[in-house]
Amino acid sequence: MTLPPFANEPILELRRAEARATLVEGLEWLEERLPIRVPIWIGEERGAAEGLESTDPGDPDRMVATAGRATAADAARAVETAQRGFRDWSARPATERAEALVRAAAWLRERRPKVAALAMRECAKPWGEADADVCEAIDFLEYYARGAIELDRDPPLLQVPGERNAMRWRPRGVVAVIAPWNFPVAIPCGMTAAALVTGNAAILKPAEQSPGCALPIVEALRAGGVPPDALALLPGEGDAGAALVRHRGVHTIAFTGSAAVGLEILRSASKVADGQRHLKRVIAEMGGKNCVIVDSDADLDDAVPAIVQSAFVYAGQKCSAAARVLAHEAVADQLVERLAGAVDVLEAGPADAFETDVPAVIERAARDRVLRYQERAAQDGTIAARAEPVPDRGWYCPPTLAVDLDPGSPVLAEEVFGPLLTVERVASIEEASERVDELPFALTGGLFSRDPATVQRVAAHSPVGNLYVNRAITGAMVGRQPFGGNRLSGTGTKAGGPAYLLQFVEPHVVTENTVRHGLVVE
């Protein structure tokens, strides 16, 4: 099979009326079907679709999905089925598995506005973000399909006379995919696709806030040709994820989510249960506290819109979102004044309104947490801008800019995951870099500078997984910006990059003495 070179799925140009109309049509199609029903789906058996409900964060009276709520017994059944599915699926040629992903990508492409509408409703993703989420899912399918074919080629080893060496990458077994809600289509799709295309069986446990968005992923992959036993859907709460992690039949855990849960998974997976004959591997992509450094020579016309976009798009609920700005004292006052002006005019509103800048956050608990951090920022510093009022239905938080916080404030150290940005004043780029280096998180970072030497110096010492220079720090593209964090932000495996699939396989080397002393001929 020869596939054309990978190219990113082009996102919709929402300035065009026809592009907007396709999304509105997708929403009309969806609204007639709400709430969608998401079963516990193991093998051919579609089980319960009750026990869990997801609602529209911008209008919590609107139910988006009802889903099954998997128990530990369901998790065990899913693992047993996946073990059976693994035997057949792992024996298929890599090209066949890759073809299944490419067909799944086509399935999603055909339904793109409908799936985007679902992400918009279930997770309050503004239209542009919702469309990009589906595009990224398609990108993961296409990119990993090509990657698996590449990985299937025997890596060259040194050969000497009388000896033949060969190395193959083989799948590990059953992969538990445990996903967050903030990229409800792209992230679960990417992790599941990587697990499957390398020959593993996968069990997808989506976030409890977004079971609806997981359904089209499993439908797409099964329609593409992944056998039912090789891919299960296990909607549920954290306890369903924990049951999968504990199960001795699970070989790999692909997790994206908060640092607290990721660390708990790492601890739990390190225990070897009675009868378990393998070590579990954990791929963990976790949270961040992402800083943008603004040097004295930065072009503020570039920096201001890029920082506002990085901090407030999708209400600051991207793992890559900007949380702290470290501004050189020569430009700090001017930068704060301009950022405050830009934050003041941000429009908080429903995700389906094309003019909305900042939607609701995902749920009541998230709204309460963000408001607590915003109050703390007011106590520990000064609020420079706060875009009020915000709609009173739904989980809205006013986009807020806080400055001059006490250096010991928890607001500067903890992941807020909401529309709150802080600005600190630094005397030099070195001081800014030190503050970045003090953090336990190292996911994304930004730098605005017009001096190539500064850019080189900061890039050489920055601990973050993804550093963006003179641009926004969100919006990594598959194949262009392999994405993932270091330190407590993750195992640094870089989704959408050339090495990602290696996490899902293990190497086997066969060495044969080719100096034969006679041949056995039957």
**What angle is formed at CA 475 by the lines to CA 472 and CA 478, rounded to 5 degrees?**
135
- State in angstroms the smallest separation of the CB of 133 from ligand NAD: 11
Site for ligand NAD in 238-257 (CB under 6 A): 238, 241-242, 245, 256-257
Cβ proximity to ligand NAD: between 224 and 485 the closer is 485
Contact call for residue 269 and ligand NAD (CB under 6 A): no
Is 285 assigned a catalytic role? yes
Site for ligand NAD in 423-452 (CB under 6 A): 443
Long-range contacts of 20-28 (CB under 8 A, 24+ apart): 20/127, 20/354, 22/113, 23/113, 23/116, 23/117, 23/120, 23/127, 23/130, 23/131, 25/113, 26/112, 26/113, 26/114, 26/115, 26/116, 26/117, 27/113, 27/117, 27/120, 27/121, 27/352
Contact call for residue 181 and ligand NAD (CB under 6 A): yes
Contact call for residue 373 and ligand NAD (CB under 6 A): no
Structure tokens given for 232: 């299960």
Q: What secondary structure letter does DSSP report for 373?
A: H
Contact (CB, 8 A) for 191 and 504: no
208, 285, 415, 424: which one is catalytic?
285
Residue with tokens 């190497």: 507
- State in angstroms the smallest separation of the CB of 4 from ligand NAD: 28
Residue nearest to ligand NAD (CB): 241
- Which of 286, 405, 412, 478 is in the footprint of ligand NAD by CB under 6 A? 286
Integer Cα distance of 86 and 63 in angstroms: 36
Contact call for residue 264 and ligand NAD (CB under 6 A): yes
Contact call for residue 283 and ligand NAD (CB under 6 A): no
How many residues touch ligand NAD (CB under 6 A)?
33
- State in angstroms the smallest separation of the CB of 421 from ligand NAD: 16
- Which of 8, 83, 165, 258 is in the footprint of ligand NAD by CB under 6 A? 258
127-165 burial code (b ≥16 CB/10 A, e <16): bbbbbbbbbbbbbbbbbbbbbbbebbeeeeeeeeeeeee
- Which of 179, 186, 313, 315 is in the footprint of ligand NAD by CB under 6 A? 179
For 10, list phi and psi in degrees, rounded to 5. Answer: -70, 130
Stretch that binds ligand NAD, among 162-170, 174-182, 388-396, 428-436 (CB under 6 A): 174-182
- Which of 9, 74, 142, 208 is in the footprint of ligand NAD by CB under 6 A? 208
Integer Cα distance of 401 and 382 in angstroms: 9
Contact call for residue 288 and ligand NAD (CB under 6 A): yes
Report the DSSP beta bridge partners of residue 38. Answer: 67
Contact (CB, 8 A) for 352 and 122: no
Is 122 assigned a catalytic role? no
- State in angstroms the smallest separation of the CB of 31 from ligand NAD: 25
Contact (CB, 8 A) for 240 and 73: no
Do the strands 45-46 and 466-469 form a parallel or antiparallel pair, or are they unpaired?
unpaired
- State in angstroms the smallest separation of the CB of 141 from ligand NAD: 18
Cβ proximity to ligand NAD: between 186 and 505 the closer is 186
197-218 burial code (b ≥16 CB/10 A, e <16): bbbbbbbbbbbbbbbbbbbbbb
Q: Which of 410, 434, 441, 406 is nearest to 322 (CA)?
A: 441
Cβ proximity to ligand NAD: between 149 and 322 the closer is 322
Site for ligand NAD in 453-512 (CB under 6 A): 484-485, 489-490
Stretch that binds ligand NAD, among 33-41, 175-183, 431-439, 455-463 (CB under 6 A): 175-183
Contact call for residue 287 and ligand NAD (CB under 6 A): yes
Stretch that binds ligand NAD, among 102-110, 234-242, 381-389, 426-434 (CB under 6 A): 234-242
Stretch that binds ligand NAD, among 65-73, 165-173, 261-269, 304-312 (CB under 6 A): 261-269
Contact call for residue 79 and ligand NAD (CB under 6 A): no
Q: Indicate the angle between helix axes 186-197 and 127-151, nearest 10 degrees.
A: 10
Stretch that binds ligand NAD, among 100-108, 114-122, 134-142, 178-186 (CB under 6 A): 178-186
Cα separation values, 287 from 216, 256, 487, Å:
26, 9, 10
Q: Is the peptide bond before 35 cis (omega within 30 degrees of 0)?
A: yes
319, 363, 397, 424: which one is catalytic?
319
- State in angstroms the smallest separation of the CB of 356 from ligand NAD: 21
Contact call for residue 417 and ligand NAD (CB under 6 A): yes
- State in angstroms the smallest separation of the CB of 444 from ligand NAD: 9
What's the order of all strands across the beta sheet hosting 400-403?
382-386, 400-403, 420-426, 322-328, 290-294, 444-448, 466-469
Q: Where do contacts with ligand NAD occur on this chain (CB under 6 A)? A: 178-183, 187, 205, 207-208, 237-238, 241-242, 245, 256-258, 261, 264-265, 285-288, 319, 415, 417, 443, 484-485, 489-490
Active-site positions read: 285, 319
